[in-house]
């Protein structure tokens, strides 16, 4: 990978994580994981104005997490999987750390159970 590619990838990750840092935007993505929706549909569960929801959607769109289509009067918002795959790839490099932690915890729990069984 060239330094320009690394910088681009890092900038994209920063933008994606920033977009996901907001609970409203995560809720919008969760809804879109079930299928495309209109802005009105996405706004329904929130006590927010349509312009406020539109701003959240724009942040998600700038991060590449959603796309907006156009079919006559309907402008559906759709989830885009590529940035989420990049996050999964990024977190996967740390998988061995939490797997080791879980393995140590399993060993400790087994030790506690064995000690408890010996006392009985």
- pTM comes to 0.72
Q: Are 39 and 77 in contact (CB under 8 A)?
A: yes
Q: Are 102 and 94 in contact (CB under 8 A)?
A: no
What is the pLDDT at residue 93? 85
4-21 tens-digit pLDDT: 444 558 888 899 999 999
pLDDT band at residue 56 under the 50/70/90 scheme: very high
Residues facing 37 on adjacent strands: 77
Q: Are 64 and 87 in contact (CB under 8 A)?
A: no
Q: Which of 81, 38, 45 is nearest to 63 (CA)?
A: 81
73-113 tens-digit pLDDT: 788 999 998 899 888 888 888 888 877 777 788 788 887 88
**Extents of the domains making up the chain:** 3-93
- CATH architecture of the domain 3-93 equals Orthogonal Bundle (1.10)
């Amino acid at each position: 990978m060239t330094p320009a590619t690394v910088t681009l990838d890092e900038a994209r990750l920063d933008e994606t994580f920033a977009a996901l840092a907001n609970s409203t935007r995560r809720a919008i993505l969760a809804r879109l994981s079930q299928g495309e929706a209109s802005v009105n549909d996405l706004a329904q569960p929130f006590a927010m104005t349509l312009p406020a929801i539109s701003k959240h959607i724009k942040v998600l769109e700038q991060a590449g997490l959603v796309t907006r289509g156009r079919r006559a009067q309907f402008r559906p918002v759709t989830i885009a999987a590529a940035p989420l795959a990049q996050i999964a790839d990024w977190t996967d490099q740390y998988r061995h750390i939490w797997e080791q932690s879980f393995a140590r915890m399993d060993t400790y729990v087994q030790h506690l159970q064995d000690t408890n069984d010996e006392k009985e």
